[in-house]
Chain A
């Protein structure tokens, strides 16, 4: 292993791990504080399928419930995603940046470089898991909550091994293809599909055992928080990681290294063909570069298409027929569903179609979908051009700095509304397909509110991008703020003392008025719009005052 490659990778990546661990610890503390004050009887009486679906261990107490919620979903996903990003970037990332030639120009083998990168990934993930473990021991002490029989160590060990599985998978794909986006995208796909499958399959009779075919099952299928380490499951995940690691080593030694080239898109191919040249030229060429906001929109179109498609088909259209399928099973338990957990997913009454859509689509997925798009545009708006060193050339044109912010804001608005509209079309279509008879107007109102909510957080990332010139700061701080705002809003609904305080969270202006049932709440829309406009204004002020950064 090469100490300096290891050190550099660790130094480049430690912030993400540290921020994630700190946020998760804060989340744990918050969850525990809320659960401490409410009656937990509802949970223990739940049927087993639902408990496992919601990460509630049998005989749950305050501590294990909080750990299950904070670490089981958010924690496991966050650390798997961090490992995934590190793995995907290990070689393919250096290729994209054009630094791979320089790195391998040194008298060190590709194997050595790869092993060092893998070492950094393992150590960082281990440190993160250890931090979570410590937090789970310390937080209950601070809040005077009994730790009970909880096997926190076993749980974080499962989380650690599970994260590495996805890290090594991404590394292997990156090493064979040299394509960072492909490695990250494919691995994230495997992770999400497997997570959803493990959640949904046990609900469908006859298919319960199929969940074992998906890797996520081996993370907490054995309920390690209660039952301790399941060595068989860990062994399987580890074996998988080893296979991927070996595949990565073989792959990297076979790969022809690439320079920082640009991939050819479908549009580029059409531009080269004589039959399609004229049309494609207009689309890819003159039309795309006609304005700053159009060019920015084209840069983010891939993300928009994927997000809008997921919201339209999966979260919209599909959920309608799904509701009619699951209706009876759910209705039987609807009353027993603990409100405490449902509020986390948007707090709908699952026995009605509106409540079902609120839990499945609008509670978490819709805000995330709009934010993915708005935060990506906001964070890159100024800081992205600075990181790519194109800002000097761009601002050498006779345009004021405020125009740059305003044009990028236009892109953000257009894309946010596109996702909002896709969600609307999907949900309205799903309601028709399933014959659910939901109010079209109310669906539209909810979609408008979620669009505005996404714009508020997009506006926050724009402020950070314009004020600091650092993409990573803009992305991470915004994600952190959104997470805290979401949790704060959810938990404040459970605790009367906090109910007023919840109004500080932008999320309360989204579903707080139950728009899917009650229709549009213009006051809330006005608050969100005002907040967004204020954030854009602040971006202009901050950007106009500072020196441009020379490098990223």
Chain B
């Protein structure tokens, strides 16, 4: 199966002195998918990426990219990847085109008509010095740099920071095209809407541990729903919280809003017994709510992964 796994980590652990940045990470990213790597700041996303790129070495465990070991085959791996680091910095005295030429010379096999096409799509100005560009425009140069040699695996750490919504959309389309061609995108982000739009699967990391790994579709079908209820008379929040599967209840006089994962029958019967229901609206929860739910649960369970 190795030929179908783009990135594989086994027991990947990284300690910085006494800080455990990454604990026992087991992860498989499949070839041809967009994998969203979610987590709050400081969760270990960047540490994972830097380990995969052999910038830092794991304390224990190992990782492979396209079946090659990240440390011993580091150079071979880098022939097949494109990389956008988080907090991107480039050479301020070079123009965008100089920067791309520099990396193209180190990498080889860059098709300049493709570079121009990418620049066009992202509306990037390659004639200005990188140091004189705004952060969003600088980010575009970084993105072109990662895409320009059509890599097998794209590894990107918070790639859409600073991009305006139109360019973000173009960038998302580019990621989907990469996956459609059978190539792989590893996308670290905390922009949930973006991950929801482009990712096939998401991994959620917190305090250095992977706490969830699921397809975006099945995450949605966890059937967490946003339910809005309108009653004839004022209601009491306690009635709703008593129902198993109900979370985040806000009650405002006649009106109640809550998250719910369970069968609608149970919820409706319980409330209809007590109050007169006037109206009901339900909505599929978006990733953000699922994400927040995961984290809130983690917190209430206890900070076992905390350092």
For residue A397, CB closer than 8 A to chain B, the reply is yes
Closest 6 CB pairs of A and B: A262-B131, A289-B102, A389-B89, A396-B83, A547-B56, A397-B106
- How far does the alpha carbon of A260 sit from the alpha carbon of B131 in the complex, in Å? 8
For residue A390, CB closer than 8 A to chain B, the reply is yes
- How far does the alpha carbon of A391 sit from the alpha carbon of B91 in the complex, in Å? 11
| Stretch from B5-13, B71-79, B205-213 at the A interface | B71-79
For residue B50, CB closer than 8 A to chain A, the reply is yes
Residues B61-115 near A (CB distance < 8 A) = 74-76, 78-79, 81, 83, 85, 87-95, 97-99, 101-103, 105-107
Contact B74 A392 (CB under 8 A): no
CB-nearest residue of chain A relative to B55?
A: A548
Per-position binary interface string of chain A over residues 275-317, scored 1 when its CB falls under 8 Å from any chain B CB and 0 otherwise: 0000000001110111110010001000000000000000000
15 A-B residue contacts at CB 8 Å? A260-B92, A261-B131, A285-B98, A285-B101, A288-B98, A289-B102, A290-B105, A389-B87, A393-B89, A395-B54, A398-B76, A398-B79, A400-B74, A548-B56, A550-B50
Residues B165-208 near A (CB distance < 8 A) = none
Minimum CB–CB distance from A475 to chain B (whole Å) comes to: 21
What residues of chain B lie closer than 8 Å to A261, measured between beta carbons? 131-132
Contact A388 B89 (CB under 8 A): yes
What residues of chain A lie closer than 8 Å to B85, measured between beta carbons? 389, 392-393, 396
For residue A266, CB closer than 8 A to chain B, the reply is no
Count A interface residues, CB 8 Å.
30
Contact A262 B129 (CB under 8 A): yes
- The 8 Å CB contact of B105, one of A260, A289, A393, A396, is A289
What residues of chain A lie closer than 8 Å to B99, measured between beta carbons? 289
For residue A399, CB closer than 8 A to chain B, the reply is yes
Minimum CB–CB distance from A411 to chain B (whole Å) comes to: 15
Please classify how large the interface on chain B is, using the bins under 10, 10 to 19, 20 to 34, 35 or more: 35 or more
Q: A290-B105, A400-B74 are in contact. List 17 more A-B contacts (CB 8 A).
A: A261-B132, A262-B129, A262-B131, A285-B101, A286-B98, A286-B101, A289-B102, A388-B91, A391-B55, A392-B83, A393-B85, A393-B89, A393-B90, A394-B106, A397-B78, A397-B107, A550-B50
Contact A398 B106 (CB under 8 A): yes
- How far does the alpha carbon of A119 sit from the alpha carbon of B32 in the complex, in Å? 61
Contact B89 A390 (CB under 8 A): yes
- How far does the alpha carbon of A292 sit from the alpha carbon of B131 in the complex, in Å? 19
What residues of chain B lie closer than 8 Å to A295, measured between beta carbons? 102
What residues of chain B lie closer than 8 Å to A260, measured between beta carbons? 92, 131
Contact A262 B92 (CB under 8 A): yes
Interface of A is mostly: loop
Contact A397 B103 (CB under 8 A): yes
Contact B145 A393 (CB under 8 A): yes
CB-nearest residue of chain B relative to A263?
A: B93
- The 8 Å CB contact of A393, one of B75, B76, B103, B132, is B103
- How far does the alpha carbon of A550 sit from the alpha carbon of B97 in the complex, in Å? 26
Minimum CB–CB distance from A103 to chain B (whole Å) comes to: 20
Instruction: Tell which of B57, B97, B103, B106 has the most Cβ of chain A within 10 Å.
Output: B106
Contact B102 A399 (CB under 8 A): no
Contact B83 A393 (CB under 8 A): yes
Instruction: Tell which of A388, A391, A392, A394 has the most Cβ of chain B within 10 Å.
Output: A392
- How far does the alpha carbon of A392 sit from the alpha carbon of B74 in the complex, in Å? 13
Given A262-B131, A399-B106, also A392-B98 (CB < 8 A)? no
Given A261-B131, A292-B106, also A398-B75 (CB < 8 A)? yes
- How far does the alpha carbon of A548 sit from the alpha carbon of B129 in the complex, in Å? 26
Minimum CB–CB distance from B161 to chain A (whole Å) comes to: 14
For residue B53, CB closer than 8 A to chain A, the reply is yes
- How far does the alpha carbon of A532 sit from the alpha carbon of B10 in the complex, in Å? 41
What residues of chain A lie closer than 8 Å to B97, measured between beta carbons? 285
- How far does the alpha carbon of A547 sit from the alpha carbon of B53 in the complex, in Å? 11
Minimum CB–CB distance from B140 to chain A (whole Å) comes to: 15
- How far does the alpha carbon of A261 sit from the alpha carbon of B105 in the complex, in Å? 27
CB-nearest residue of chain A relative to B91?
A: A390
Contact A289 B53 (CB under 8 A): no
- How far does the alpha carbon of A299 sit from the alpha carbon of B74 in the complex, in Å? 28
- How far does the alpha carbon of A232 sit from the alpha carbon of B78 in the complex, in Å? 67
CB-nearest residue of chain B relative to A400?
A: B75
Minimum CB–CB distance from A551 to chain B (whole Å) comes to: 9
Contact A390 B57 (CB under 8 A): no
Given A262-B93, A289-B94, A390-B90, also A396-B129 (CB < 8 A)? no
CB-nearest residue of chain B relative to A389?
A: B89
- The 8 Å CB contact of A396, one of B57, B78, B95, B131, is B78
Residues B22-76 near A (CB distance < 8 A) = 46, 50, 53-57, 74-76
What residues of chain B lie closer than 8 Å to A396, measured between beta carbons? 53, 78, 81, 83, 85
What residues of chain B lie closer than 8 Å to A399, measured between beta carbons? 75, 78, 106
Instruction: Tell which of A262, A396, A399 has the most Cβ of chain B within 10 Å.
Output: A396
Given A262-B131, A291-B105, A398-B76, also A285-B95 (CB < 8 A)? yes
What residues of chain A lie closer than 8 Å to B101, measured between beta carbons? 285-286, 289-290
Residues A365-423 near B (CB distance < 8 A) = 388-400
- How far does the alpha carbon of A400 sit from the alpha carbon of B87 in the complex, in Å? 23
What residues of chain B lie closer than 8 Å to A288, measured between beta carbons? 94, 98
- How far does the alpha carbon of A268 sit from the alpha carbon of B105 in the complex, in Å? 22
Instruction: Tell which of B55, B79, B97, B107 has the most Cβ of chain A within 10 Å.
Output: B55
Contact A392 B78 (CB under 8 A): no
CB-nearest residue of chain A relative to B88?
A: A393
Given A285-B95, A292-B106, A399-B106, also A547-B57 (CB < 8 A)? yes
CB-nearest residue of chain B relative to A272?
A: B127
- The 8 Å CB contact of B50, one of A291, A392, A398, is A392
What residues of chain A lie closer than 8 Å to B57, measured between beta carbons? 547
Minimum CB–CB distance from A353 to chain B (whole Å) comes to: 44
- The 8 Å CB contact of A398, one of B91, B102, B107, B129, is B107
What residues of chain A lie closer than 8 Å to B98, measured between beta carbons? 284-286, 288-289
- How far does the alpha carbon of A394 sit from the alpha carbon of B87 in the complex, in Å? 14
Residues A105-133 near B (CB distance < 8 A) = none
Minimum CB–CB distance from A403 to chain B (whole Å) comes to: 9
Residues A310-358 near B (CB distance < 8 A) = none
CB-nearest residue of chain A relative to B106?
A: A397
What residues of chain B lie closer than 8 Å to A397, measured between beta carbons? 78, 103, 106-107
Contact A262 B56 (CB under 8 A): no
What residues of chain A lie closer than 8 Å to B90, measured between beta carbons? 390, 393
Minimum CB–CB distance from B96 to chain A (whole Å) comes to: 11
What residues of chain A lie closer than 8 Å to B142, measured between beta carbons? 393
What residues of chain B lie closer than 8 Å to A547, measured between beta carbons? 55-57
CB-nearest residue of chain A relative to B101?
A: A289
- How far does the alpha carbon of A262 sit from the alpha carbon of B88 in the complex, in Å? 17
What residues of chain B lie closer than 8 Å to A268, measured between beta carbons? 129
Minimum CB–CB distance from A275 to chain B (whole Å) comes to: 17
Minimum CB–CB distance from A383 to chain B (whole Å) comes to: 15
- How far does the alpha carbon of A400 sit from the alpha carbon of B54 in the complex, in Å? 11
Contact A262 B83 (CB under 8 A): no
CB-nearest residue of chain B relative to A545?
A: B57
Minimum CB–CB distance from B54 to chain A (whole Å) comes to: 8
- How far does the alpha carbon of A260 sit from the alpha carbon of B133 in the complex, in Å? 11
CB-nearest residue of chain B relative to A260?
A: B131
CB-nearest residue of chain A relative to B14?
A: A547
Instruction: Tell which of A268, A285, A393 has the most Cβ of chain B within 10 Å.
Output: A393
- How far does the alpha carbon of A550 sit from the alpha carbon of B78 in the complex, in Å? 19
Minimum CB–CB distance from B98 to chain A (whole Å) comes to: 5
What residues of chain A lie closer than 8 Å to B95, measured between beta carbons? 285
